[in-house]
């Protein structure tokens, strides 16, 4: 599964288009402009650092397959994951304007990405006002997801925090067709969840047991099975408003 040529770029941006289309109209030309901007496809193995904080950046990565995290490491060795990315997400589009990132980006699983050179993206910002706004929009949805994480980590108790994160992933994976009725594949460890929720892995383990005992959801064998989504949403105080999934016209 080595790197391959940019043959079926069609597939590469399919999940991105699946996310953008329902929210705003996207012309065939715009889809083509995106597709033509991919310079390279790259694979990373699980646990690989993809972008290190501070590195100068000259391209941005669209996640095609796998799970990616943005995270920071603290002096005492603790790690905080700020956002978990799913296929169809740009993982470091922020770097287009920031020129560097203040955080790391790492593969949680083995991962495939499509590379968009900043030169191409910059050309889009100069010539394609609408498409450019859609890219901006996608960074704003990231920001919104991150704000919801502040609420979780700041105010929700451990059980609700985990429930909320899994509700969010459920919905985000549904949008790109990677979830089914009753759950989704989630090849992460409990330690990953603890880093995303600001808890210890021991406590995540206990809370997962509670969720199981309460017949809310089961996380086992890299799969989340949701037993009662309505009740789970209530426990998490989850509403998908902050994902901005509804249509907004150009």
Partner DNA sequence: CGGACTGTTGAGAAATTTCAATGTTGGTGG
Partner DNA sequence: CCACCAACATTGAAATTTCTCAACAGTCCG
Give the binding site for its own copies (CB under 8 A): 53-54, 70, 72, 74-75, 78-80, 82-83, 94, 97-99, 102-103, 125-126, 129, 132-133, 136-137, 139-144, 146-151, 153-156, 197-198, 237, 241-242, 244, 248
What is the rounded CA–CA span in Å between residue 22 and residue 87?
Answer: 16
What ranges in 78-200 are assigned the alpha helix state H?
A: 95-98, 118-127, 129-155, 158-175, 190-197
The span of 10-18, 113-121, 129-137, 190-198 binding DNA (CB under 7 A) equals: 190-198
Please count the CA atoms within 13 angstroms of the CA of 142 that sit on its side-chain side: 21
Cβ neighbours of residue 65 under 8 Å, at least 6 residues apart?
87, 111, 112
What is the rounded CA–CA span in Å between residue 196 and residue 72?
Answer: 11
Beta carbon of residue 177, minimum distance to its own copies (angstroms, whole number): 24
What is the rounded CA–CA span in Å between residue 133 and residue 247?
Answer: 15
Q: Phi/psi of residue 90, each to 5°? A: -75, 130
What is the rounded CA–CA span in Å between residue 121 and residue 91?
Answer: 14
Out of 122, 147, 209, 250, name the contact with DNA by CB under 7 A. 209
Out of 55, 73, 157, 182, name the contact with DNA by CB under 7 A. 157
Residue 189 contact, options its own copies, DNA, none, Cβ 5-8 Å cut-off depending on partner type = DNA
Residue 201 contact, options its own copies, DNA, none, Cβ 5-8 Å cut-off depending on partner type = DNA
Closer residue to DNA (CB): 28 or 74:
74
Handedness of CA 114, 59, 49, 77 (dihedral sign): negative
What is the rounded CA–CA span in Å between residue 168 and residue 221?
Answer: 20
Residue 158 near DNA by CB under 7 A? yes
Beta carbon of residue 10, minimum distance to its own copies (angstroms, whole number): 27
Closer residue to its own copies (CB): 99 or 223:
99
What is the rounded CA–CA span in Å between residue 116 and residue 40?
Answer: 8
Beta carbon of residue 208, minimum distance to DNA (angstroms, whole number): 6
Beta carbon of residue 83, minimum distance to its own copies (angstroms, whole number): 8
Beta carbon of residue 96, minimum distance to its own copies (angstroms, whole number): 9
* Neighbour count for residue 154 (Cβ, 10 Å): 9
Q: Which residues pair with 107 in a beta bridge?
A: 68
Residue 159 contact, options DNA, its own copies, none, Cβ 5-8 Å cut-off depending on partner type = DNA
Q: Per-residue x/- marks for DNA, 216-245, CB under 7 A?
A: ----xx------------------------
Closer residue to DNA (CB): 162 or 226:
162
Q: Which residues bind DNA (CB under 7 A)?
A: 157-159, 189-191, 198-203, 205-206, 208-209, 220-221
């Amino acid at each position: 599964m080595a790197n391959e040529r940019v043959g079926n770029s069609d597939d590469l941006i399919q999940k991105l288009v699946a996310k953008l289309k329902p929210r705003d109209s996207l012309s065939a030309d715009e889809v083509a402009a995106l597709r033509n901007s991919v310079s390279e496809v790259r694979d990373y193995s699980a646990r690989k650092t993809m972008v290190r904080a501070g590195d100068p950046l000259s391209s941005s990565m669209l996640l095609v397959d796998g799970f990616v995290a943005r995270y920071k490491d603290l002096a005492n060795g603790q790690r905080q994951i700020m956002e978990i990315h799913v296929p169809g997400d740009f993982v470091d589009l922020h770097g287009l304007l920031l020129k560097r990132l203040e955080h790391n980006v790492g593969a949680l699983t083995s991962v495939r990405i499509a590379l968009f050179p900043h030169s191409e993206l910059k050309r889009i910002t100069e010539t394609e006002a609408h498409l450019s706004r859609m890219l901006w929009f996608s960074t704003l949805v990231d920001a919104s997801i991150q704000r919801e994480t502040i609420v979780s980590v700041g105010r929700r108790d451990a059980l609700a925090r985990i429930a909320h994160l899994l509700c969010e992933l459920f919905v985000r994976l549904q949008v790109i067709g990677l979830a089914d009725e009753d759950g989704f594949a989630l090849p992460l460890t409990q330690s990953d969840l603890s880093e995303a929720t600001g808890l210890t892995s021991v406590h995540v383990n206990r809370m997962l047991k509670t969720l199981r005992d309460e017949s809310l959801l089961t996380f086992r064998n890299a799969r989340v099975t949701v037993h009662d989504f309505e009740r789970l949403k209530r426990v998490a105080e989850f509403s998908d408003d902050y994902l901005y999934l509804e249509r907004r016209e150009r």
